[in-house]
Amino acid sequence: MKKLLVYLKDYKKETILGPLFKLLEASFELMVPLVIAAMIDNGISGGDKGYVIKMCLLLLLLCAVGFISAITAQFFAAKAAAGFAKKVKRALFDNIQKLSFADMDSVGTSAMITRMTSDMNQVQQGVNMTIRLLLRSPFVVFGAMVMAFTIDARQALIFLVTIVLLFIVVGIIMLWSIPRYGQIQGGLDTLLRLTRENHTGVRVIRAFGLENKEKERFHAKSNELMKLQKFVGSVSALMNPVTYAILNLSVAYLIYKGAIYVNSGELSQGQIVALYNYMSQILVELIKFANLILTVTKAIASGNRVQELLELKSSMKDGNVTAFERKEDHVVFNDVSMRYAGDSEDCLENVSFTTKRGQKIGVIGGTGSGKSSLINLIPRFYDVRKGSVVIDGTDVREYKLELLREKIGIVPQKAVLFHGTIRDNMKWGNKNATDEQILKALEIAQAKEIVEGKENGLDYMVAQGGKNFSGGQKQRLTIARALVKSPDILILDDSASALDYLTDKKLREAIETMDNAPTTFIVSQRTSAVLTCDKIIVLDNGNVAGIGTHEQLLNSCELYKEIYDSQFKKEGAV
């Protein structure tokens, strides 16, 4: 949490002026009991109405100045807290963007979202409350005690004992609560993960009639979190009644002793009223301080989680090479093995092949055979465990990541469009692309008619996630987006699964006829999508079962022949 405070450096003025104005308000508040004591002893006792009116006007003045000071302090505190949260969120988002896919897999999407939202809100609230009350409350508490000593040292000892007891109670509860609030935020991670899974897979859940099972699963985790929150909350809630009990006993004893001293003439009525008012101020401030401690406790627990993610550095080191040398052997896999973080077995093992510039490479295999894992190594989304992936004669680990990925156009399995116009989405590939270039890419991707059929054409607004397009339309638009950047390497990761066979065929033919056609990797479960490729790689459980052309594999690879026969016997030859 301490390291996050560096983001307050641009708000030094606010973090200094906020507490100062709060202390100014507190100073005027500490003067009020003395004014009231003087009013009782000098005005009311003597029947001096003029003096009473003068003291009343002084009280109003103190109230007005204190109110202005409090409002000013609140403004500075809110400005500093909001600015601090903005900077931390920006730094957090920037750091997340730098993390490798392996790092994101380890942390989890739900945990990152919770830290960016719920945890950051707790931290922002903690900073706001700290600027406002961290100095004010102790200042009033100790100030009231000092003022009590100026009135009567014997009575002030009651204040001293009370304050020591209260700080012991607050300290014990705070030390106990901090780690538990961290556990609560961890429970929120789990609930968010379950919510995201259900939201994403709601159609699957309903298709299998598992709504009740998912409800029970969610309720179990929710009840578990609720029990923890209730337990932590019940212990934390002891702070207010315990402090009230200590303070009320102190007040009762103060009045009891005060009555004896007034009766003996050692203290005046005004002085006892002033002592009572100071004890009341301590009561109010310690209740505020107790709530502040609870807020700060939550903020520290959340801040530690935010700091943990902020300090997480990418496990993938950037390279230094900033230029490509055009080579005939475009993409080469040299005895590549790969394993996901936390797995005990490789998902790819001893994969080797060479791709010439401009070739079409098909990648086929059963579900879980490692097709997506293989092509994810080309743009270096993941690093190999053994061997090397070489592009234009240089290991991908030596290239600058930004430069490497500029040369590669990727169409993922799940077509993703972003809120904005069609033109905005197309310019993700090339921010300087002209409408002519965009329309050309749309034509190759068989998506031009989609745009022409929409009102406003390229200015048609895409809903979040592309929900106002069908699955096939989204796939064609994402292919066009990849083509707009005119990549040297084009990766189609099962990106035509929602297309009919005719559209799929036209798409592949259009890519082949492109000027300076890219080296294309087509990942598919359809043999019809890869049978015209220059080379087909057949994967089986992470191992290469065969490499060759369609005709060669029919004769030499039993697995490929099985896949081909199963599909073409069912679907008919194409």
Contact between 392 and 398 under an 8 Å Cβ cutoff? The reply is: no
pLDDT at 574: 43
User: 26 and 125 share a domain?
Assistant: yes
Tell me, yes or no, whether 116 lies in a domain.
yes
Tell me, yes or no, whether 397 lies in a domain.
yes
pLDDT at 485: 87
What DSSP character marks residue 209? Answer: T
User: 119 and 205 share a domain?
Assistant: yes
Tell me, yes or no, whether 450 lies in a domain.
yes
User: 495 and 346 share a domain?
Assistant: yes
User: 347 and 263 share a domain?
Assistant: no
* CATH for 530: 3.40.50.300
pLDDT at 137: 82
Tell me, yes or no, whether 229 lies in a domain.
yes
3-state helix/strand/coil string of 175-202: HHHHHHHHHHHHHHHHHHHHHHHHHHCH
Please identify every stretch of the chain with a pLDDT value under 70, giving residue numbers as ranges: 1, 569-574
Tell me, yes or no, whether 317 lies in a domain.
no
Distance between CA atoms of residues 297 and 334, nearest Å: 53
Label residue 227 exposed, middle or buried (CB < 10 Å: 0-12, 13-18, 19+): exposed
Residue ending a domain, choose from 455, 484, 513: 484
Structure-block tokens of residue 127: 């900073």
SS3 399: strand
* CATH for 55: 1.20.1560.10
User: 28 and 76 share a domain?
Assistant: yes
Distance between CA atoms of residues 493 and 102, nearest Å: 19
- Measured from the Cβ of residue 347, the count of other Cβ atoms closer than 10 Å reads 19
User: 531 and 545 share a domain?
Assistant: yes
Pick the closest to residue 488 from 358, 374, 320 (CA basis).
Answer: 358
Residue ending a domain, choose from 440, 465, 484: 484
Largest separation between any pair of C-alpha atoms in the chain: 119
Domain count, the chain: 3
State pLDDT tens for residues 305-352. Answer: 889 888 888 888 888 988 888 888 999 999 999 988 778 888 999 999
Tell me, yes or no, whether 551 lies in a domain.
yes
pTM exceeds cut of 0.95: no
User: 48 and 74 share a domain?
Assistant: yes
User: 231 and 211 share a domain?
Assistant: yes
pLDDT at 569: 66
User: 79 and 212 share a domain?
Assistant: yes
User: 180 and 275 share a domain?
Assistant: yes
pLDDT at 399: 92
Tell me, yes or no, whether 1 lies in a domain.
no
Distance between CA atoms of residues 26 and 136, nearest Å: 7
User: 364 and 230 share a domain?
Assistant: no
User: 82 and 23 share a domain?
Assistant: yes
Tell me, yes or no, whether 315 lies in a domain.
no
State pLDDT tens for residues 295-311. Answer: 887 788 888 888 988 88
Distance between CA atoms of residues 365 and 559, nearest Å: 8
Residue 389's DSSP bridge partners are: 333
Domain hosting residue 557, numbered range = 323-407+487-574
Residue ending a domain, choose from 454, 484, 514: 484
Mean residue pLDDT of the chain comes to 85
